[in-house]
Amino acid sequence: MTTTAGVLAVVVAVAAVVVHLVVVRPAQQIEQARTDGLAAARTLTEQVLSYQPASRDADLARARGLVTGDFGRQFGTVLDSVVGPALDRGVGTRTTVTRAGVVDARPDRVTTLLYLTQDASRGSDDKRTTVGRAEVIVEFVDGRWLVSDLRNF
């Protein structure tokens, strides 16, 4: 009977480890990704979509460093063809995320829905405020969260 009890104890211990590795740990990783990814999406979106003429080069370099993948390449084109010329004309933009939620989460990829307020102005004149929403996907790449997609709708 001692052998049976010993075998049973080993089976129960192995089952507990398997449950932890297959169920508990992935759930914890996803929950952590939800928290970290949502915070990153809020912060990164504000940084990627905010530029001022006085800090043009630093703002554009910062934005380029916070995006990844195909979106990063496409966004670089937008920075060169739209944002850069607007900054050269003295138009700046400040983006604020007013509300945010998680649509989907995986350990290394989080899809969010963000509500945004964007203030565009030329100096202190002619301030225009727009509100909108965007689906923003962030991915955990090389130890940090980066924007891998951003779609306004």
User: Whole-angstrom Cα distance, residue 37 to residue 140?
Assistant: 8
pLDDT at 79: 95
> For residue 115, with 0-12 CB atoms within 10 Å meaning exposed, 13-18 middle and 19 or more buried, which class applies?
middle
pLDDT band at 99 (very low <50, low <70, confident <90, very high): very high
Nearest to 139 by CA among 112, 100, 99: 112
**Lowest-confidence segment of 26-30, 54-58, 106-110 by average pLDDT:** 26-30
User: Whole-angstrom Cα distance, residue 102 to residue 113?
Assistant: 6
Tokens of 120: 């565009």
Asked whether the whole model's pTM tops 0.85, one would answer: no
pLDDT at residue 23 is higher than 60: no
pLDDT at residue 70 is higher than 60: yes
Please give the average per-residue pLDDT across 14-28, as a whole number: 61
pLDDT at 41: 98
User: CA–CA distance from 101 to each of 5, 38, 79, 93, 127 (Å)?
Assistant: 49, 7, 27, 23, 28
- Which domains, ranges and CATH numbers included, belong to the chain? 2-152 (3.10.450.230)
Burial 119-147 (b: 16+ CB within 10 A, else e): ebbeeeeeeeeeeeebebbbbbeeeebbb
User: Whole-angstrom Cα distance, residue 146 to residue 15?
Assistant: 37
